[in-house]
């Protein structure tokens, strides 16, 4: 039974097997690259971000969270056309934030997961835009309506995905 107190000692910390640790992020990256070619609307989702948030919140360890985010973000950058590091930086921040939050709050219920995912999606986009505009000189237009809409879509998908990934959790 998940504990809902905010004490660090009482909150469950989970770990994952190596195949899940490697395979799930790779599968998310693959789907993110493959599915939008068939279903263009799918590009609104950011599966690697959802996976980053999930692992970070489940492990509740800021260091492992930031490294998970950095690794997933950097691989996502490698598949793209822009310089490597934009997604890496954004997901590092999200990984750190999600695991820090996971260590303090109960993020096991759907409502909390929805809000946390929406918040981290916006944080991710803000960091991405800042780095892309400030360092890489990409011209990006920030649209609150679009970002909130995309954030909500990701949050809804995230809630379903997290419950699916919960099956791979192993208690420490």
Partner 1 sequence: MESVLGRYRNLTILVGVLFLQVLGLAVQVKRTGDAENTRLIRVWAVDAITPLERALVWAQNDTSNLWHNYFFLRGVRAENRQLKQQIEQMRLEQVRLSEDAEQAHRLQQLLSFKEQVIAKTVPAQVIGSSGSDLSRSIYIDKGSNEGIATDMAVITAGGIVGKVLRVYPSTSLVLMINDQTSGVGAMLEKSRLQGVLKGTPDGAVILERVMSDEQVAPGDTVLSSGGDQIFPKGLPVGTVTKVSPGREMFLKIEVKPAADLSRLEEVLVVTEKQEQNAVVDSGVRVRAADILAQRLPSVPDKPVADAAAAAGASGTDKVVPPGQETGAGTKPLTPVESSVKPEAAQHAATPSIAKFAGVGPTAATPAGAKAVSTGSAQGVPVNGQTGNSQTGNSQAAKKTAPKPASGDPVVNSGSPNAAASNAAGGLAKPAPARPKPPVTQPNPQPPATEDNPN
Residues near partner 1 (CB under 8 A) = 26, 29-30, 32-34, 36-37, 40, 43-44, 48, 62-63, 66-67, 70, 74-76, 78-89, 92-93, 96, 100, 128, 131-132, 135-141
Q: 9 is written with which tokens?
A: 């000692």
CB of 102 to partner 1, least distance (A): 13
CB of 48 to partner 1, least distance (A): 8
CA-to-CA distance for 25 and 55, rounded, in angstroms?
A: 10
Query: What angle, rounded to 10 degrees, do the helices at 18-38 and 47-59 form?
Result: 160
CB of 100 to partner 1, least distance (A): 8
Q: 42 is written with which tokens?
A: 């799918």
Q: Which is nearer to partner 1, 32 or 52 (CB)?
A: 32
Q: Which is nearer to partner 1, 22 or 115 (CB)?
A: 22
Q: Which is nearer to partner 1, 29 or 155 (CB)?
A: 29
List C-alpha distances in Å: 157 to 15, 28, 65, 135, 165: 22, 13, 21, 31, 12
Could you tell me if 84 and 75 are in contact, meaning their C-beta atoms sit under 8 angstroms apart?
Answer: no
CB of 109 to partner 1, least distance (A): 26
Cα torsion through 170, 151, 80, 54, rounded to 10: -10
Q: Which is nearer to partner 1, 142 or 163 (CB)?
A: 142
């Amino acid at each position: 039974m998940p504990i809902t107190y905010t004490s660090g000692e009482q909150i469950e910390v989970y770990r994952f097997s190596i195949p899940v640790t490697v395979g799930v992020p790779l599968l998310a990256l693959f789907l993110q690259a493959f599915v939008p070619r068939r279903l263009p609307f799918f590009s609104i989702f950011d599966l690697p971000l959802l996976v980053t948030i999930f692992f970070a919140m489940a492990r509740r360890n800021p260091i492992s969270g930031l490294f998970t985010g950095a690794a997933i973000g950097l691989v996502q950058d490698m598949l793209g056309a822009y310089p490597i590091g934009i997604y890496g930086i954004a997901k590092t921040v999200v990984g750190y934030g999600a695991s820090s939050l996971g260590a303090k709050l109960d993020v096991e219920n759907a409502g909390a997961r929805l809000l946390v995912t929406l918040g981290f999606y916006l944080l991710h986009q803000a960091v991405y835009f800042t780095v892309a505009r400030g360092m890489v000189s990409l011209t990006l237009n920030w649209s609150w309506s679009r970002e909130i809409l995309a954030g909500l879509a990701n949050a809804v998908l995230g809630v379903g995905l997290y419950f699916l990934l919960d099956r791979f959790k192993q208690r420490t």
